[in-house]
Structure 1
Amino acid sequence: MQDNLDKIVIVGAGTAGVNAASALRQQGFEGQVVILGAESVAPYQRPPLSKAFLAKDKPPAATLLKPGAFFPTNGITLEMGQGVVAIDRTAKAVLTKAGVHYPYDELILATGSSARRLRCPGAGLSNVCYLRNLSDATRLHKSLRSAKSVAILGGGVIGLEVASAAVALDKQVTVIESAGRVMARVATPSATNVITRQLKAAGIRFALNARLARIDGVDGQARTCILESGEAVAADLVVVGIGALPNQGLAVHAGLLCDNGIIVDEAMRSSDPDIYAIGDCAAAENSYYGGRIRIETIHNAMVQAQIAASSICGVRIPDAAPPRFWSDLLGMKLQGLGGLTRYDKLVAFNGKNGVETEVHAFAGDRLVATETINLSKRQSELSKLIHPAE
């Protein structure tokens, strides 16, 4: 640890930012730690927003990342409602929207990502929704109760989780996906075939290889999604889940190197050695993927928070761990391990009930990734079998 380090500022109060602050204390940093969060509410967990939050009759209170007493007990200054608008690298300070300057010795950017916005006629209709934060989830919870037909644009993790919640509420649900299968970016055909079959059996309709042309509305509200094929999909609620973009604007304007995320080295340092980036906003080298990648998972945010804190404190950086993600879909728990980008062989093991599934992805003879459905106890053992690329 550098002897002259006195103040660390963390921009972002999500999983990455809060875990970085916690890790700094665990690693022995005794100086000031300040977290600046743009939202006005205490730091909360985001995964439940597309799962249990939508299923409850009344919107539950957000699940906090840490108890309220955690921050003062650990000497961490938490400033919510303090959106940062600029970084002054020369003065080593950040400026908030309210005009407050926060000087730093080391800066950690944990700014997360934002929903990719829909660009087509009708995209601005009042009942076209996104899901990235607590405010979005609260609005969507209310809208789901009054809707009859729901169109989900995008068959990724968020889209399918919202679709699961909607069909459980007896809504007519259609998932519109431009690819030939759902979850194509994060899961193998073996796993998505099982998921699609079960979701179809529950009443969810899928329009695959389908592109949206426009959304038609009445009195400012969506009523029909028109596909490029000419097909009309009834929808009095449209939920957009077409991916996310890194919140890298601060870094770009500060002159940091960015390419679909803030480029960082193995210690999470950006092109400025006094500025780190972690979580959804960071593009980092990952030995399990064999290159630089931006990963939008809770596990990745927590791992990178530990790496950045270790680097700042001058302690040994944790060994690389297989990336992982999970999703809950109508009684199915999908869990993935490893880097699912370069594989040439899949081996699937299916349980007797047609749902329990285990998939192994190989590159040559090397196991690069695994997936399980409703086999949570397998994760510990499988994680030992996956190794980084040489």
Structure 2
Amino acid sequence: MSHIIVIGAGQAGASLVAKLRNEGFEGEITLIGAESVPPYQRPPLSKAYLLGDMALERLFLRPESFYADQNIALRLGQAVTGIDPVAKTVTLTDEVIGYDQLALTTGSAPRRLPSAIGGDMDGVFVVRTLADVDAMAHLVREGARALIVGGGYIGLEAAAVAAKRGVKVTLVEMADRILQRVACSQTSDFFRALHTGHGVDIREGVGLERLTGEGGRVTGAVLSDGSQLELDLVVAGVGIMPDTALAEQAGLTLDNGIAVNELGQTSDPAIWAAGDCASFPHRGTRIRLESVPNAIDQAECVASNMMGAQQDYVPKPWFWSDQYDVKLQIAGLNTGFDRVVRRRGDKGAVSFWYFQDDRLLAVDAMNDPRAYMIGKRLIDAGKTAPPELVADPDADLKALLRG
């Protein structure tokens, strides 16, 4: 009987094995995860879970009983130490398992602050796993002093939760502005004003020189402008890297992640990859998407292709971020934009529409689900919107969907 092994028990891995069973795969399935808990949602970790608004069980993507009911062998708390593509085996700490097909859904790993500047001290955290958040929770309290390093969405979300818990937050961003890598200056301006309005001290164009401490625990920081801070904790939100260690050991082709073709196959046709760890062809280039929707959609496409569907993966990118009482929804990819149009919504809602020439690329919508949905449907359908129409708050953009 055919045996499929999936390495990585996150959103992509859980989606892939569920899809295999849903598509009628009757062979053996083994899902291997390094963490000791069943697959869970990551986005709520640094928000609802850290705030105490979500219980642990609600994080789980499915009850643990689901995997047994579906005859999926769930191997938790197990480290994979190697893959042998010739023998078609996966090596665990004390066991070797054979496979017919293998899927890598290893996700990504957070960039950490270098130990040379104190990044290995107690009280310095990243936000990626349940264990990360559990370890910092007792420090995120009223009156504590926190430094957030990095002004991307990870850093801003951490700052928002800490501020809501009564923490005195300083956020530093080495670039000229927060969100510089991922958003237009108008979106940066919106979120800068939002955070400063909640008491967050945002310092742009300022980096971390070094952390200081006592007895191996962080107590302060020296910034690149010479200023010094007294601290109780530090959160590094300086990005993530695709987890490609096993793929590299197995000799698979890497290119900003594990390189896969349109179907999700790696350079070894018996090995597939999906989610944060995988880069794939898209509109003449190669991209990698770090998002829950991509992890689900790509993993489900790969599952179908492992069963012979021969279906190209066509992404429909969308993302979201929750900060305070603002829900940011993003549709599309803004790479290559040369113009941004602002559209005013109701009750303080606003959206920014990205164009390249007259082609609509992406939309950032803040508390404006209508603008987001219309923009997303236009982008997914390959349609555009006249910029002057977008800028007119009284114009009915929905009519463009019928055109």
Q: TM-score range by the shorter chain?
A: over 0.9
* 3-state SS, counterpart of residue 371 of structure 1: strand
Correspondences of 1:38-53 after superposition (within 5 Å): 38-53=34-49
Q: Which amino acid aligns with 1:121?
A: I
Identity of aligned residues (%): 38
1:291 equivalent to 2:266? Answer: no
Q: Which amino acid aligns with 1:67?
A: P
Judge which range, 343-352 or 126-135, deviates more: 343-352
1:126 equivalent to 2:122? Answer: yes
Correspondences of 1:1-390 after superposition (within 5 Å): 6-56=2-52, 60-61=56-57, 63-97=59-93, 99-119=94-114, 120-145=116-141, 148-287=144-283, 291-315=285-309, 317=311, 320-351=314-345, 353-354=347-348, 356-387=349-380
Runs of 4+ in 1 over 6 A off after TM superposition: none
Q: Return the alpha-carbon distance in structure 2 between the equivalents of residues 70 and 34 of structure 1.
A: 13
Shift of 1:133: 0.3
* 3-state SS, counterpart of residue 175 of structure 1: strand
Q: Which digits, 9 at most, give the CA deviation of each residue in 1:197-223, with x for residues without a partner?
A: 011111011110111110111232222
Call closer, same or farther: CA 1:111–1:166 in 2, change over 3 Å: same
Aligned-residue Cα RMSD (Å) equals 2.0
Q: Return the alpha-carbon distance in structure 2 between the equivalents of residues 291 and 83 of structure 1.
A: 33
Call closer, same or farther: CA 1:202–1:146 in 2, change over 3 Å: closer
Shift of 1:62: 5.4
Q: Return the alpha-carbon distance in structure 2 between the equivalents of residues 340 and 72 of structure 1.
A: 42
Call closer, same or farther: CA 1:61–1:74 in 2, change over 3 Å: closer
Q: Return the alpha-carbon distance in structure 1 between the equivalents of residues 326 and 225 of structure 2.
A: 32
Call closer, same or farther: CA 1:57–1:368 in 2, change over 3 Å: closer
Shift of 1:141: 1.1
Higher relative contact order (CA 8 A, sep 6+): 1
Q: Return the alpha-carbon distance in structure 1 between the equivalents of residues 216 and 332 of structure 2.
A: 45
Call closer, same or farther: CA 1:216–1:33 in 2, change over 3 Å: same
Kept after mapping to 2: 8 A contact 1:306/1:318: no
Q: Return the alpha-carbon distance in structure 2 between the equivalents of residues 249 and 271 of structure 1.
A: 15
* 3-state SS, counterpart of residue 64 of structure 2: coil
Kept after mapping to 2: 8 A contact 1:151/1:173: yes
Q: Which digits, 9 at most, give the CA deviation of each residue in 1:221-240, with x for residues without a partner?
A: 22222112211133221111
Where do 5+ consecutive residues of structure 2 fail to align? 384-403
Q: Which digits, 9 at most, give the CA deviation of each residue in 1:153-204, with x for residues without a partner?
A: 0111111111111111111101111112212222222222111101111101
Q: Return the alpha-carbon distance in structure 1 between the equivalents of residues 145 and 298 of structure 2.
A: 40
Shift of 1:144: 1.0
Matched residue count: 382
Kept after mapping to 2: 8 A contact 1:151/1:234: no
Q: Return the alpha-carbon distance in structure 1 between the equivalents of residues 270 and 354 of structure 2.
A: 39
Q: Which digits, 9 at most, give the CA deviation of each residue in 1:259-287, with x for residues without a partner?
A: 22111111111110110111111111233
Q: Return the alpha-carbon distance in structure 1 between the equivalents of residues 68 and 61 of structure 2.
A: 15
Shift of 1:147: 6.0
* 3-state SS, counterpart of residue 141 of structure 2: helix
Kept after mapping to 2: 8 A contact 1:27/1:315: no
* 3-state SS, counterpart of residue 326 of structure 1: strand
Q: Return the alpha-carbon distance in structure 1 between the equivalents of residues 207 and 63 of structure 2.
A: 44
Q: TM-score, normalised by structure 1?
A: 0.93
Kept after mapping to 2: 8 A contact 1:180/1:208: yes
Shift of 1:316: 5.5
Kept after mapping to 1: 8 A contact 2:146/2:232: yes
